[in-house]
Structure 1
Amino acid sequence: MSRRDVHRCALITSLACSALALFVVFANILAGIGPKADETTSAHLWQLLMTAQVPLVAISIATADLRRRFTIPMMALQLALIAAACVPVWLAHY
């Protein structure tokens, strides 16, 4: 597997994890599930998805080819999706 393929796989997987974490948060908000004293399954799922991104982002950054046209915008999208998954959790005090 080439360096470019590793970068692409890490980036796509990280984007998928962020999107799924964001979906979990919005599903809880839309379902009216508020913060609980004991964490729910969805809270654990969100935590696992966000934690799984740490090595994926590190691999993505380490294998990035900054000369390519879409590298920086895709990495910015990656960080924006991570922030988008974290902000509703912070605002809703989950």
Structure 2
Amino acid sequence: MNVRLARLLMRFYPRRWRERYGAEFEALLQCGPASLRTIADIMLSGFCEHIVPTLGADMSHQTYPFGLIIRQPTAFVPIAMSLAALTLVLVTITVFGVAHQPSDEGTSAHIWQLLMAGQLPLLALFAIRWLPRAPKQTLYVLALQAGAVLASMAPVLFLGL
């Protein structure tokens, strides 16, 4: 790969990363061929470096990638509970239609309420544990969890169930 292309590809990485690894990475790029796959991989890696940075110059600070955090039970179980509640609402609407019951809400409504309320302690535990360690990635997971909660609540609110 020529010097000009290597320097251009280096611009995809954050400044802090380039300061730490730039000279070595540029030398490595100049030694290898410039295939389309290599160029695409370097561009994607540079983009990902902006989202989830590596250690960079601060070797004492440990970073946690998004993939590691989302695999924690306190991260994915609330999402699964919200999706189960949404599925329950959609199946109930499909089978029974939109029915407003005057006295008792029914079994489906009680299960939905348990699923929605049961995830609150898990959400709190997740936030308490992970916000100090990896705030940026934790906020992404919390946003995903909030989206799942809103998706589960939307049919209930809009249809007045």
**Range into which the TM-score falls when normalised by the shorter chain:** 0.7 to 0.9
4+ runs deviating over 4 angstroms:
none
d(CA) in 2 for partners of 1:66, 1:91: 35
Cα deviation 1:5-24 (Å, max 9, x = unaligned): 8x811111111111101111
Task: Give, in whole Å, the separation in 1 of the partners of 2:157 and 2:121.
Answer: 23
Determine the structure 2 residue equivalent to 1:78: 145
Q: CA offsets per residue over residues 16-49 of structure 1, 9 Å max, x none?
A: 1111011111112222142212211100000000
Which residue in 1 is equivalent to 2:56? none
Secondary structure of the residue that 2:146 maps to in structure 1? helix
Count matched residues: 89
Structure 1 residues not aligned, in runs of 5+: none
The more displaced of 76-85 and 28-37 is 28-37
Q: 2:154 is matched with which residue? A: 87
Greater shift after overlay, 33-42 or 78-87?
33-42
Output the CA distance in 2 between the equivalents of 1:75 and 1:22: 18
Partner of 2:100: 35
1:66 aligned residue: 134
Larger Rg: 2
* Identity in percent: 33
RMSD value over aligned CA atoms? 2.0
TM-score for both structures, normalised by structure 1 = 0.82
Secondary structure (helix, strand or coil) at the match of 1:63 reads helix
